Amino acid sequence: MNIFVIGHGGHSKVVADIIRTYYEYQIVGYLDNKYEEVQIINDEFCGPIRAARQLIENFTDVKFIIAIGDNKNRKSIVKELSLTFEYYTTLIHPLACISPTAKIGHGTVVMPYAVINADAVIGNHCIINSCSVIEHDSRLEDFVHLCPNSTIAGTVKIREGSCVGSGATIIPNKTIGEWTMIGAGATVIDHLPDNCLAVGTPARVKMNKKVNAG
């Protein structure tokens, strides 16, 4: 499978490492708006994001993965490209632990040592970062980002575009609103509304406005 990585920064390095663990995958290039035109760099195609459709015509069995950590930017790119879902691959590191009953959407990346347990449902274009845990029956909507070592207990719902900071914990049966940010190390013991920033233990809402609105 030929894979173009969208984004060519720090996060793309981690995504590229996952791709390289699979012998049947090949990185053929990177798309990032720091490139003004398509060019060859170190035997790889590099070009602006808008070149995606042009490259589809030049490659067979081509897939894309968006390797950009910002949730708003990932959603904006998906909207801009308007590609059908089959053009996006899902990447799961071989050291991740995934229940056979879990469901993972297209364009999502699961990092090493992440755990996704029974009947969890992960949406499209999510980032499940290293050593994060998603317990049974939890549901993450599209464009969610779990930072390293975050813990999502059972039957939690995280709505579109929200981000859970490194080392944060959400206790069971809670709902996190859309485009909400949970700070590093926070402990969430209550439902959280849309478009807010919550920090601390227990987590308290510090801002209630569009912190990462889509």
Residues recognised as catalytic: 136
User: What would the two tokens of residue 180 be?
Assistant: 């909400």
**Cα distance between residue 147 and residue 168, in whole Å:** 8
- Comparing CA positions, the residue from 99, 145, 138 lying closest to residue 121 is 138
**Cα distance between residue 55 and residue 13, in whole Å:** 21
* Element (DSSP H or E) covering residue 46: strand 44-47
Strand-by-strand arrangement of the 26-31 sheet: 39-41, 44-47, 26-31, 2-6, 62-66
Extract the runs of DSSP E, i.e. beta strands, from 85-153.
91-92, 97-98, 103-104, 109-110, 115-116, 121-122, 127-128, 133-134, 139-140, 145-146, 151-152
**Cα distance between residue 148 and residue 184, in whole Å:** 10
With beta carbons less than 8 A apart as the criterion, state whether 117 and 136 touch: yes
**Three-state SS at 195:** coil
